Amino acid sequence: MISQPRMISATLFIVLFILPVYALAMDAAALYHERTCIACHGADGKQPVMDEYPKLAGQAEAYLLTQMKDIKSGYRTNAHSVAMKNVMHLVSDEEIAVLAKWLASLSE
Ligand code: HEC
């Protein structure tokens, strides 16, 4: 039988480490759907609807974060980024950070 201290540390490990990671993944995936990202960038950021739109899965977190902030602020702008800028009022800076972390964690 598993000793009680071991049982407690196993439970603590699950509650402190595994559940938050799982919760983050769930939140980010839900955000990605709710905030319409999926409409242009496709399922899990892997199948953009047009060849001119970027794949997002597996890119560096810091890069994704900067690009989203720059598109939101209008600092990055071109014929295509305008489409995305129009939905960026739907996401807060905290949500952008969650999305960047999640997208970076996906396989390409
Ligand atoms: C209406 C279509 C559309 C929607 C909706 C949209 N995007 Fe985009 N997104 C684009 C386009 C187009 C670009 C490329 C813009 C350019 O060419 O500069 C882009 C660029 C990006 C980039 C930069 C990628 C790179 O490789 O430089 C990220 C990150 C991104 N989008 C994330 C998101 C997230 C997260 C959402 C949801 C909150 C979202 N987008 C919603 C169309 C969209």
1 CA to centre of ligand 1 in angstroms: 52
| Predicted pLDDT of residue 55 | 98
| Predicted pLDDT of residue 93 | 95
Which band of pLDDT confidence, cut at 50, 70 and 90, is reported for residue 88? very high
Greatest pairwise CA separation for the chain in angstroms = 64
6 CA to centre of ligand 1 in angstroms: 46
| Predicted pLDDT of residue 54 | 97
Is residue 53 over pLDDT 70? yes
> CA torsion sign, 19 to 20 to 26 to 27?
positive
pTM beyond cutoff 0.95:
no
64 CB within 6 A, ligand 1: yes
55 CB within 6 A, ligand 1: no
- Helices 93-105 and 19-34 sit at what angle, rounded to 10 degrees? 110
Is residue 1 over pLDDT 70? no
Give the list of residues 6+ apart from residue 104 with CB closer than 8 angstroms, or none. Answer: 58, 59, 60, 61, 64
Angle, vertex CA 62, rays to CA 58 and CA 67, nearest 5: 90
39 CB within 6 A, ligand 1: yes
What domains lie within the chain, and their CATH numbers? 4-105 (1.10.760.10)
Is residue 22 over pLDDT 90? no
What would the pLDDT profile of 57-70 be if each residue is shown by its tens digit?
A: 999 999 999 999 99
